[in-house]
Amino acid sequence: MIIADASLVSFLFLEGEVSGTVRELYRRDPDWITPPILNHELLNILAKIGRADNAPAAMEELWKEIRTRLGSRQQIPDPLRALRMAIDFGVSGSEAQYLALSQQLGAPMVSCDQQLVEHLPKLVVSPEAYLLRLE
Q: Distance (Å, rounded) from C-alpha 43 to C-alpha 74? A: 16
Please tell me what DSSP assigns to residue 72.
G
pLDDT in tens, the chain (135 residues): 999 999 999 999 999 999 999 999 999 999 999 999 999 999 999 999 999 999 999 999 999 999 999 989 999 999 999 999 999 999 999 999 999 999 999 999 999 999 999 999 999 999 999 999 998
Domain spanning 2-35+73-134: which CATH class is it, in words? Answer: alpha beta
Please tell me what DSSP assigns to residue 73.
G
The torsion angle over the Cα atoms of residues 111, 73, 41 and 82, rounded to 10 degrees, is: -70
Q: Distance (Å, rounded) from C-alpha 135 to C-alpha 67? A: 29
Model confidence, pTM:
0.95
* 75: amino acid identity, one letter: Q
C-beta atoms surrounding 88 within 10 Å: 10
Task: With H, G, I as helix, E, B as strand and everything else as coil, classify residue 19.
Answer: helix
Question: Which residues are bridge partners to 4 per DSSP?
Answer: 110
